[in-house]
Structure 1
Amino acid sequence: MTTREGTSAAPAATAPPVSPGKRAALWLGPLLAGVATLVWSGNFVIARALSDDIAPVQTAFWRWTIALLTLAPFAAKGLWVHRAAIRGHARYIALVGLLGMTLFNTLIYIAGRTTSATNLALIAAASPVLIAVFAALGGERISPLRAAGMLLALVGVVALVAKGSLAVLLGMDFAVGDLWMIAAMGTFAGYSALLKRRPKEIPPVVFLAATVLFGLVMLVPAQAVSLYTEGGFTPTGGNLGALAYIGVASSALAFFVWNKAVEMIGATRAGVVYYLQPVCVAALAHLAIGEGSTVAQFACMGLIIAGVALSSARR
């Protein structure tokens, strides 16, 4: 088409089309992150219950042993086929295994011995912020819309933990376990940020199995020291069932879908979904033990959900 002056009119600018694969990732990525968050919500409850029964290092060791056995049928052949790539990226895989497997959960179990569940939840609320900071340092862009959603969700989490009372928040007692929990959140943030650099030639399930294997090997010396100084634990139906849950569901399943979510939507957007953990815990508590919720709690949960939705929006 030409104008009256005879010059060609520039076509209207249009947004680039979104491929079907990318369109699917926009909703599948947050969904996978939500599944991991839901499973980990049950893990926090169980970890707290095991704190007086099994030593923290031993809990972590058996957790990842069970996880590795769970992954073995799906990844053993791949570990052998891709052994050259694994060896070539050994330093990176070892660092990811150290942060995500050796340290993260061990630090949470240690923290659970000397601080309250409320403090653990409050400190965990900082995890998505740390993930965003680490991801930004790695070159991932954080839009103003996403930052606003993170802030809204963070306000909702803090208000939920503090029961909507500033006096409760200011009156909380902090213990040495809180420092362990802060360290745990730092390791998880580093782990999540590093996932974007996963070698593409290594399949996801093989990569997870390799990181678990590296992390478990690094736990062996601490396991030996713990057995020598603290002794083992007496197996019961309760603690064996709990170990099975955190080994299969919270480790093999949850870490696999979390890794996939980070690969699809980035560490920052996946991290924002992690804010839903208090909402998941409240839902599980209501379904499992009939624990009620107040209007203020529902309002806080609404803020969290709104913040996550805002941060997950494409534009």
Structure 2
Amino acid sequence: MPQLALPTVFYLLVATVLWAGNAVVGRMLVGSVSPITLSAVRWGLAALILLPLGWRIFMPSSPLWQNKKRFLMLGLLGVGSYNVLLYLALQTSTAINVTLIGASMPIWMLFIGAAFYETKPGILQLTGAIVSLVGVTIVLTRGELSSLLSMEMVAGDLFIMLATILWAFYSWMISRPGSSTEKQWPWAEFLMAQVMIGFLWTMLFEGFEVATGFAFIELNPWTISLIIFIAIGPSLISYRFWGLGVNGAGPTVAAFFANLIPLFTALLSGLILGDPPQLFHALAFALIVLGILVSSTKKSGSQASVPPKNP
């Protein structure tokens, strides 16, 4: 039987819905904000919003300084590199390519877990990954699988592939506390450490965009409201909920929920464009959920050994 508690499912669903919104908004902002500038403004604003709750992390007595190497990596993988690569991918790659390649995350999660964290995937997890990937493919091809034959690789596809691999490493890292006391950290301080360090990494990347003359931003009420949304929803809320979800389900099972992002992206885009859901959306949803249920059964048990934490 599935091991997922309802709060865990809720956390992962909310995170994926908000990240779907981030993909939609990111495409809407193409031409108004350059990709790395968008990431820098997003995380700088997120850090300011979180500062009243997480400021203690910067005190000399904070455990951040004893774990600085770990958080330099968490900030780079989960906040800095992933989001820069995602926005770069949206500049050149099609929605089908970006989200289909991103849907390979459960496969990468299983591979990284086996290669670096001594958690061998079970047959049910592998089966769930395949079933879920079929569901994602149905969404992205709108039920016409023959359209896969016309797909062409572009630079953005390589960006999102790298981003997906880095996110898999990030998810495994947050599932394994770096010290015996880390799981007792207040959630705001744990998240603040990642957001602030990720912002600093992003500003480093932003320096290259500025130096090459590609940085730009057009501020108006519309773009400002969209940036505020991605700074609060897909940033602070999603990252907090993803950490809770990984804590409850383990990184491999949580990765299957990420396959809902293309479906939610298609539905949100449809609502904005006035395109109602189709029958293939329901079929895809059923397959993705089936993949989640299959992967989270007790027989897949490699995630049972993931220690709990409180991100």
**What is the TM-score of this pair, normalised by structure 1?**
0.86
SS of the residue corresponding to residue 276 of structure 2 reads coil
Q: Deviations over 1:173-213 (max 9, x none)?
A: 22111111111111111111111123324333211110111
Q: CA deviation at 1:299?
A: 1.8
1:1-315 map, 5 Å: 26-80=5-59, 83=62, 85-136=63-114, 137-198=116-177, 199-228=182-211, 229-315=213-299
Given residue 125 of structure 1, which amino acid in structure 2 is its aligned partner? Answer: A
Deviates more, 1:115-124 or 1:228-237: 228-237
Deviates more, 1:293-302 or 1:243-252: 293-302
Structure 2 CA distance, aligned partners of 1:63 and 1:48? 15
Extract unaligned runs of 5+ from structure 1. Answer: 1-22
Partners of 1:82 and 1:202 within 8 A in 2? no
Structure 1 CA distance, aligned partners of 2:4 and 2:99? 29
Given residue 222 of structure 1, which amino acid in structure 2 is its aligned partner? Answer: F
Given residue 132 of structure 1, which amino acid in structure 2 is its aligned partner? Answer: L
Partners of 1:30 and 1:269 within 8 A in 2? no
Identical-pair percentage: 26
Structure 2 CA distance, aligned partners of 1:180 and 1:150? 22
Structure 1 CA distance, aligned partners of 2:270 and 2:214? 36
SS of the residue corresponding to residue 230 of structure 1 reads coil
Structure 1 CA distance, aligned partners of 2:284 and 2:218? 41
Stretches (4+) displaced over 4 A: none
| Alpha-carbon spacing, 1:295–1:166, altered in 2? closer, same or farther (3 Å) | same
SS of the residue corresponding to residue 113 of structure 2 reads helix
Structure 1 CA distance, aligned partners of 2:120 and 2:53? 34
Structure 2 CA distance, aligned partners of 1:94 and 1:149? 33
**What is the TM-score of this pair, normalised by structure 2?**
0.87
Structure 2 CA distance, aligned partners of 1:25 and 1:312? 7
Partners of 2:54 and 2:188 within 8 A in 1? yes
Extract unaligned runs of 5+ from structure 2. Answer: 300-311
Partners of 2:245 and 2:254 within 8 A in 1? yes
| Alpha-carbon spacing, 1:297–1:220, altered in 2? closer, same or farther (3 Å) | closer
Given residue 192 of structure 2, which amino acid in structure 1 is its aligned partner? Answer: A
Higher radius of gyration, 1 or 2? 1
Aligned residues: 292
Structure 1 CA distance, aligned partners of 2:119 and 2:187? 21
